[in-house]
Each structure stands twice: as C-alpha cells, then as structure tokens.
Amino acid sequence: MKKLFLFFLTLTITTSCKKKIQTDYTNGQDNFNYAKARKLRDSMKIDSAYYFYNLAKDDYKKMGDSLGIAQSLINMGIIQTNRGDFYGGIETSLEAEKYLRNDNDINVKANLARNFNNMAIASSFLYNYNDAIKFYQNTLKYTKDKNDRAVYYNNIGKVLTNMKEYTKAKYYLELSLNTTSNTMDYARALSNLSAAKYLSDKNDDPLKDYLRALDIRYRSKNITEMNSSYATLSDYYSDKDIDSAKLYAEKMYSTSKQIKNPEDQLQALQKLINLDKNNYLKYFNTFQNINDSVIIARGKAKNQFALIKSDIDKTESKNIELQAKNLEAENKLLYRNMIVASLLLTLIIGVIWYTKRKKRLQKEKELEVKNTELKYSKKVHDVVANGIYQVMTKLENHLDISRNETLDDLEYIYNRSRNLSYENIEINDESEIFSEKIRKLMGYFTSDHIDTILIGNDVEVWENISHSCKAEVYQVLRELLINMKKHSHADRVTLKFERTFEKVKIHYSDTGVGINNETILKNGVRNMINRIENLGGCITFENKTQTEKGMIVHFSFPFS
C-alpha cells in the first residue's frame, strides 16, 4: 500500500492549486501559424496547436519579433506542462525568458507572469518546491490584477503547506482569501487555509470550512472544484469515520469519470483501495489500468513534442547545408595546403614518436597491470563481499530461511568466486523473471526498521534487455541497498522504474544521512558509475533538500 501511496502523492501536489487561465498578449497582428495554433488550442487540438506554435516561433525569428518568439515558446511550454512533460515545459519557458528583456513594457510583463507561472506549476509537480516558490514570487512581481494575485497567493500557500511551513502558508492563504473577489478562488483559498491550520494544530477542526467550501462549489455547479472538496473531506474522515471517508471518495471517483479526469480517478481509487477492504482488488486493478494509460500517454506526449522540434530543426539544418556548399570551393584550397602541412608534421612526429616509443610501451604495461588489479578488486567486491553481505542481510531480516536455502546461497557465491579469473563471471539465470529477482532483492532488506517501496517493476520494463545488462543493473541495485544498510541508517527506501521508447530509467531514494564527497570516491560508488557508463547510460548522486534527509540516485541506460 505504501508503494501505491508514493506514486499517488505525485498526482496530488497541485490538486488544490489553480492553474492560472492563460491569455495571449500580442504586439501587433498575429502571423498565420500563430493564429492557427491559437484556434487549434481553443478547440482542444493540443498536439496540432503545439506544432503550429513551433512554426510560428520560426516565423517570428525571421521577422526579428522577440515578443512573438517568446509568446510562441510560452504557449509551447504550457502545453508541455499540461501534458505531463514537466522538464520539457520548464526548458521551453527558460528559452522564452531570453526574449523577454524589456520588463518595462506592459506586454512583456504580462508574458513574464504567464511564463513564471508555468515554471512554478511544473516545479511543483517535480517536488522542486523551492523553485516553485521562487517562480511564483516572480509572477507576483509582474502581476497587478487583484484576482490574479490572489490565485498566486493561494498557490504559494499550497506549496508551503506541502513543505510543512504552515505559518508562512497561512499568511499567503489569508492574503488570497482577503484579496480575491472570485467565488471559486475564495472557496479554494478557504479550503487550503483550513487544511494548513489543521495540519499545524490538530485541535483546529476544519470541517466547518471544508463544508462551506463544498457548498460554494456546489451552488456554482463547478464539478471539477467539487472534486477537490470531495478529496479533502475523504482525507479528513479517513481516521475518524470510514463510512464518510468512503462516501466522499466514491463521489470523487464518480465525478472524475464524468469529467474524464484520469488523475482525479487515480486519486479517488487510491483512497478507495485504503478504505474499502472488501473491494480492494477491484479498485486496485482499475488503478493499475488507468495508471498505465496515464504513463503511456505522458511518454507519447514527451516524444511527440521532441519529434516536432526535431522536424523543424532538420528543415533549418537543410538551409544551413545549402549555405555550407557555397563555401566548399574556397575550402578545397585550404584543405590542399593542410594536407601538405600534415605530411611535414607527420614526418616530424614520426621521429619524435620513435624515440618515445619504448617509454610509452613501458607505461602501457604498468597501466595494464594496474587495470588488472582494479578489475579483480571489483570482482571480489561484487561477488564475494556483496554476495556474503546479501546472505547476512537475508538471514538477519528473515529468520524463517531454511538451512538448505542458506547453503545454496553460499554454494552459489563459492562457485562464482572460483571463477574470478575468467573474463565474464556473470551467470545468466534465465529460470527466474528479472522483475521477481529485483522484488526478492528488495525483500531481503525489508525489516522492522526499514520499509522498502517498489514502483513500476513490471515484467514489461525488462523485455528485450540483454542478460548481461540486467546483471549489471542488479549489481548496481544491490550495491545501493548494501550501502544503505551499512552506512545511511535509512528507515525507508524507494525504487521506481520507468521505461520510455529509448531508455530504462531507475530512481532510488532513501531517508538516510545522504552522501558526501568522500563516499563518492569509494570503490563501491565508482564501480556503480563504471557499470552504468559501460551500458551507455548515466548516473547521478545527490542529497535531498536541507529540510529532508536522504539521498537520491537517478540512472538510466538505453535498451536498443
């Protein structure tokens, strides 16, 4: 259940935050592609709108219209964020900011506000709360309208609540409540303020204000906003009145299906999974199906946006290629002179090379010996040390392990240690599904003191991936878990797996002491880095925020 909750949390970061309604600000007439993009966007043909905004951007570049370029990029970034491509949305907005330099211009200010708001929303979804606060503050800097400012005050308050900074959160939510003249914004701020007060003081009962916010939304017949109230009330009753909590969760699920909102459906199903034990399996299966669809849709959106940009860039590349051909004739003379100079230089280098050859060969031999020592050190570390520690951990956390199973594990380690001198000591065990092997590995480290959470470890993630590649990944995961057990003192470990069209991405996080520069230099971490780089991938290590202890590791590798 904890595994599901962790994924679900990402869906609720901005449930009570209002995404500011975007407005186009133009300096003169729109070009053809921009006008067409806006029409497609308004008719909810989002993918086509993105394509024509991209064309409009290039048209504005040819005209030298920086504001037009910025407006096109801002709309592209907003579309990416709304479709779940949060990193892409931020990247596009940052590109747009480069064209919005004259912040004394009223149109530039309006577009800066839209742009910072988009980056704030995307950052909230990515848990980058400090960045979200910074972007919302910049949005306020360029916004004068009272109702718009009230929206941003509410969003800042909600992010601060997520950061558990309740005093600051209440300050901004009260500003929003006292500033807005919009009924829906008032209900939203009221609900969020009551939640912040309740979280900071459990004696401050928010039920009256929760019901008042629901009544406002009900009388306004705003189904989407009513869903937010249903979610809040279900959470409130979850530890007080299970029947009431279940009732509001069912209302939320019914409404989210009516408005065709998969994120709200996932949120409602998560609540029902926890609340309705009799129908747990039915809700769980539905949750999995919708969740898979959402992940696939977001993956397609990300790739589609990248392809659209790529196609336009290819067109520009062809134009550059034509210009390059005009210079080819001039370069031929330069190439001829370079060849003559190269021949002379080769002759000189040949003499120098001959005199230094013996020294170079000697150094190569010394380096080969050193690399051999490092290779066997790595094998001993992976096969013997980590293998034995895994068996120790398994025995420590699972007292019911049989003597024969332990002897089998030790015999496996013994057989592998005998073959350390061979180039490839990895044993391709095809008898066990790899996702199950990972699940068991995580299970070995589960104890009364350590919770392990596994997300996305589906069989499909590992399809068409070579055994040698899976073996390297297994060693990296085992090294991370052993380091966690020995050094980090974590009480919770999370592993999340994602598969895109080109890569497998793995995200590891724990609640331990974090990582320092000395740790990065140790053999175990260096071995992990070498393994992933040998697969053609990349790996990063970082600590969590100052307010939250722990380490985060991201690594990915191609599978084709």
- The mean per-residue pLDDT over the stretch 269-281 comes to 83
173-203 burial by CB neighbour count: b if 16+ within 10 A, else e? bebbbebbebebbbbbbbbbbbbbbbeeeee
User: How many whole angstroms separate alpha carbon 460 and alpha carbon 217?
Assistant: 42
Average pLDDT over every residue of 214-237 = 86
Residue 41 has pLDDT above 80, yes or no: yes
Q: Is the pLDDT assigned to residue 368 strictly greater than 70?
A: no
pLDDT exceeds cutoff 70 at 175: yes
Task: Give the Cα-Cα-Cα angle 396, 401, 403 (nearest 5 degrees).
Answer: 110
Cα dist from 170 to 150, 178, 181, 195, 395, whole Å: 13, 12, 19, 9, 49
pLDDT digits (tens, 9 = 90+) for 129-153: 999 999 999 999 988 888 889 999 9
| 400, pLDDT greater than 70 | no
Over its C-alpha atoms, the chain yields an Rg (Å, rounded) of 29
> Where residue 425 falls among pLDDT bands split at 50, 70, 90?
very low
Structure-model confidence comparison of residues 362 and 447, the more confident one: 447
Give the pLDDT of residue 347. Answer: 84
At 321, the pLDDT band (50, 70, 90 cuts) reads low
Distances in whole angstroms, Cα of residue 502 to Cα of each of 465, 477, 487 = 12, 21, 34
- Alpha carbon 281 to its chain's center: 28
Is residue 163 a contact partner of residue 547, using CB atoms and an 8 Å limit?
Answer: yes
Whether residue 465 contacts residue 557, with contact meaning beta carbons closer than 8 Å, is answered with: no
Which pLDDT band, with edges at 50, 70 and 90, does 296 fall under? low
Which pTM does this prediction carry? 0.49
Q: Where are the alpha helices (DSSP H) in 380-461?
A: 386-397, 403-418, 434-444
**Residue 258 in tokens:** 């009516």
Over the stretch 463-476, which tens digit does the pLDDT of each residue have?
989 998 998 999 99
The pLDDT tens digits for 427-441 are: 445 557 999 999 988
Domains of the chain: 33-144 (1.25.40.10), 145-220 (1.25.40), 301-404 (no CATH), 431-558 (3.30.565.10)
Confidence of residue 395 (pLDDT cuts 50, 70, 90): low
Tell me, what DSSP letter sits at residue 52? H
Bridge partner residues of 558 (DSSP): 503
User: Edge-to-edge strand order for the sheet containing 551-558?
Assistant: 451-455, 492-499, 503-510, 551-558, 538-543
The pLDDT of residue 26 is above 90:
no
CB distance 90 to 122 below 8 Å: yes
> Which of 369, 367, 385, 349 is CA-nearest to residue 482?
385
> Among 17-21, 141-145, 353-357, 406-410, which is the least confidently predicted range?
17-21
Rounded to a whole number of angstroms, the distance between the first and last alpha carbons of the chain is 33
20 has pLDDT over 80: no
Angle at 209 between CA 161 and CA 277, to 5 degrees: 75
pLDDT value for 371:
53
What backbone phi and psi angles, to 5 degrees, belong to 319? -65, -40
Which helix (H) or strand (E) segment holds residue 519: the answer is helix 517-520
Q: Of 176-185, 331-340, 475-484, which gets the smallest average pLDDT?
A: 331-340
Q: Could you give the CA distance from residue 240 to residue 242 in angstroms, rounded to a whole number?
A: 7
Q: How far is residue 497's CA from residue 421's CA, in Å, rounded to a whole number?
A: 33
pLDDT tens digits, residue range 71-114? Answer: 999 999 999 888 888 888 999 999 998 898 887 888 888 899 99
Dist CA 465 CA 479 (whole Å): 21
